[in-house]
Amino acid sequence: MLRKGAILEYKRCGGLFYHYAMYIGDNKVIHRDKTNLFSFGHIYITELDKIPGTMKILPLHMPHVSTEQAINTALELTIKDNSYNLLTNNCEHFVNYVRYQNRVSNQVQKIKKFIIFGLYALLVVKLNKYNI
């Protein structure tokens, strides 16, 4: 059952990446998004069924702020926070901040680890090539 304050995960591009939103009631979600590649990105209130992708309701982790506090924080941010950044302030950062007061994106962390591992592997290959 969908309840106010639920974090929703929308599968995009076959699971290559995900979009996140928080349900605020009355068939509406609040989420940070960009309208296109060159836009600054904003926080929007959107009809639940207007966000593309396969939706999944994520379980809330402990501890988290009250639903009322999370929704109020999200609504306040619609007025004063329009600083979308894929690496530091994306949709996942937004929902984790309003629900858990922790601005984190697991997707970004995975990408960083992948890049670091790739650079390390490249370095190992280069060092082996020169017998270092």
Mean predicted lDDT score pLDDT of the chain:
87
Contact of 93 with 103, CB cutoff 8 Å: yes
Task: Give a yes or no: residue 130 inside a domain.
Answer: no
- Whether the pLDDT of residue 72 is over 70: the answer is yes
Angle at 78 between CA 15 and CA 28, to 5 degrees: 55
- Whether the pLDDT of residue 36 is over 70: the answer is no
Task: Give a yes or no: residue 48 inside a domain.
Answer: yes
Task: Give a yes or no: residue 84 inside a domain.
Answer: yes
Beta-bridged to residue 12, according to DSSP, are 17
Range(s) of the domain holding residue 48? 7-105
Task: Give a yes or no: residue 34 inside a domain.
Answer: yes
- Whether the pLDDT of residue 41 is over 80: the answer is no
Task: Give a yes or no: residue 116 inside a domain.
Answer: no
Task: Give a yes or no: residue 38 inside a domain.
Answer: yes
Task: Give a yes or no: residue 88 inside a domain.
Answer: yes
- Whether the pLDDT of residue 48 is over 70: the answer is yes
Q: How many structural domains does the chain have?
A: 1
User: Which residue is it, tokens 């009250």?
Assistant: 66
Token code pair at residue 2? 């969908």
Task: Give a yes or no: residue 1 inside a domain.
Answer: no
Q: What is the mean pLDDT of residues 73-84?
A: 87
pLDDT of 51: 93
